[in-house]
Structures are given as structure tokens and as C-alpha cells.
């Protein structure tokens, strides 16, 4: 058990050092809501996950371009097998939410208002196969009800 924890801690420190030296996010933590496995052409499209957005961690600890407050563990882990279509990850809420995504290439992608209204949306074109860690953030460090994460190849919400 000690060796397993040591290996996980070593892998995490290497990933954090390479992608975002100051990031406090635990990309290997059990997701708060769901682990999703999808492959290109999935139905129904979009795939939705209901969740509470927000947390106590300032997303700017990952990058100065990230906004909002997120949890330590990802909200959703997506295992995706890419095809020819782009991958669109969006959050839908009546409040101002943000997205923080650690993509299969180890890079961090953040968005505040690229979707409709105050909703965030990140487009991967071309989509990458692999594991995506997804956080939905809020402003002010509070959690919001009725937030919906959308995963799609066809629609940006």
C-alpha cells in the first residue's frame, strides 16, 4: 500500500511540475460525481452530468488564465476515444460558472464565458483520445445547485 501511494504521489508531482507547477488539483482523486466512458459517435449527444459547481480552491493557482473556485478532486473524469469530430465540453447554469480541464496531453484548458450567456465552453478540435479531468467552478467560492455539464461532439452550449 505504501509503494502504491508513493508511486501515485510521484506520478502526480511529475505531472504537476510539467503542466502547472503551482497547481493544487489532484487529477488522480476519485471524481466528485462521475467517471464517463465515451467514444466518437456516442448517443445521446449531448451527454449530461448534473452536479454542484464550485469549491474552495482558487483556479488561478493552476494558471493566471483560469477563473473561479473549484474543488480539489475533479467533478467528472472522461475517458474518450476520439474520431473525426471535435469534442465540446460546456457547463450550463443560471449563474456564472467556469471550466477547468486537464486534457490527455497534460495541458490545462480554462474558460469563463465562451458558451452561451455566462456559460463556459471548451472546444477540442481535433479531439484527443484519453483521459480528461473536468472541474466546474464558480465565483466567490460558493457551490451552486442546478449546474449541468455537457459533453458533445455536435453542440456547444
Q: pLDDT tens digits for 109-136?
A: 999 999 988 899 999 999 999 999 999 9
So what's the pLDDT on residue 145? 60
Backbone angles phi, psi at 78, to 5 degrees: -115, 125
Q: What is the pLDDT of residues 48-102, one digit of tens each?
A: 999 999 988 999 999 999 999 999 999 999 999 999 999 999 999 988 899 999 9
CATH of the domain at 17: 2.60.120
157 Cβ contact partners less than 8 Å away, ≥ 6 residues apart = 46, 88, 90, 92, 115, 116, 119, 121, 150
**In this structure, is residue 66 part of a structural domain?**
yes
Residues 6 or more apart in contact with residue 58 via CB below 8 angstroms? 69
- The band of 22, judged by pLDDT with boundaries at 50, 70 and 90, is very low
Range of the domain at 138: 2-152
In which element (H, E) is residue 15 found? helix 2-19
Q: Are 136 and 146 in contact (CB under 8 A)?
A: no
Is residue 135 situated within a structural domain? yes
Report if residue 157 sits inside a domain.
no
Q: Answer yes or no: are the C-beta atoms of 60 and 117 closer than 8 Å.
A: no
The number of folded domains in the chain is 1
Q: 7 lies in a domain?
A: yes
Is 126 a member of any domain?
Answer: yes
In this prediction, residue 156 carries a pLDDT of 66
Residue in 154, 128, 153, 149 with CA at minimum distance from that of residue 35: 149
| 134-157: average pLDDT | 83
pLDDT at 36 over 50: yes
Residue at 57 is within a domain: yes
Residue 105 lies in a domain: yes
> What does the pLDDT look like over 1-12, one tens digit per residue?
434 443 434 333
Q: Calculate the dihedral angle through the C-alpha atoms of 140, 103, 90, 44, rounding to the nearest 10 degrees.
A: -140
Name the band, by pLDDT with cuts 50, 70 and 90, for residue 24.
Answer: low
Amino acid at each position: 500500500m505504501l509503494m502504491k501511494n508513493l508511486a501515485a504521489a510521484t506520478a502526480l508531482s511529475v505531472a504537476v511540475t510539467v503542466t502547472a507547477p503551482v497547481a493544487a488539483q489532484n487529477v488522480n482523486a476519485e471524481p466528485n460525481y462521475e467517471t464517463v466512458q465515451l467514444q466518437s459517435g456516442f448517443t445521446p449527444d449531448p451527454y449530461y452530468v448534473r452536479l454542484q459547481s464550485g469549491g474552495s480552491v482558487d483556479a488561478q493557482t493552476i494558471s493566471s488564465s483560469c477563473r473561479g473556485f473549484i474543488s480539489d478532486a475533479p467533478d467528472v473524469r472522461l475517458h474518450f476515444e476520439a474520431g473525426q469530430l471535435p469534442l465540446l465540453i460546456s457547463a450550463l447554469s443560471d449563474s456564472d460558472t467556469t471550466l477547468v480541464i486537464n486534457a490527455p496531453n497534460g495541458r490545462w484548458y480554462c474558460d469563463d464565458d465562451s458558451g452561451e450567456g455566462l456559460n463556459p465552453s471548451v472546444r477540442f478540435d481535433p479531439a484527443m483520445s484519453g483521459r480528461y479531468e473536468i472541474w466546474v467552478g464558480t465565483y466567490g467560492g460558493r457551490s451552486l445547485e442546478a449546474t449541468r455539464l455537457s459533453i458533445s461532439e455536435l453542440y456547444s452550449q
